[in-house]
Amino acid sequence: MHKKGEKELADLFDRAAESDDPVPPAPDNEFQTILAEMKRRGIEPRIRKELKEKK
């Protein structure tokens, strides 16, 4: 992600954190649906690897 995109995303998260609007819940089984689609496309989840590298 480019620096500009990272800044925009950080600003978005900051505004959301300061907002009093309730966060809508995720649809049922949303995480499982995403993982199934990633598996179908042959995409390996990298979050565990990325977390290990940051230690």
pLDDT digits (tens, 9 = 90+) for 5-51: 888 888 988 888 888 888 788 889 998 998 899 999 998 877 765 55
Residue 15 lies in a domain: no
Residue 44 lies in a domain: yes
List the domain range (segments joined by +) for residue 31. 25-54
pLDDT at 13: 86
pLDDT at 4: 84
pLDDT at 24: 82
Q: Is the pLDDT of residue 1 over 80?
A: no
Residue 19 lies in a domain: no
Residue 10 lies in a domain: no
Please name the residues in contact with 38: beta carbons below 8 A apart, sequence gap of 6 or more: 44, 45
What's the number of domains the chain is made of? Answer: 1
b/e for 13-46, b at 16 or more Cβ within 10 A? eeeeeeeeeeeeeeeeeeeeeeeeeeeeeeeeee
Give the whole-angstrom CA distance, residue 19 versus residue 40. Answer: 37
Q: Is the pLDDT of residue 55 over 60?
A: no
List the Cα angle 16/18/21 in 5-degree steps: 65
Residue 11 lies in a domain: no
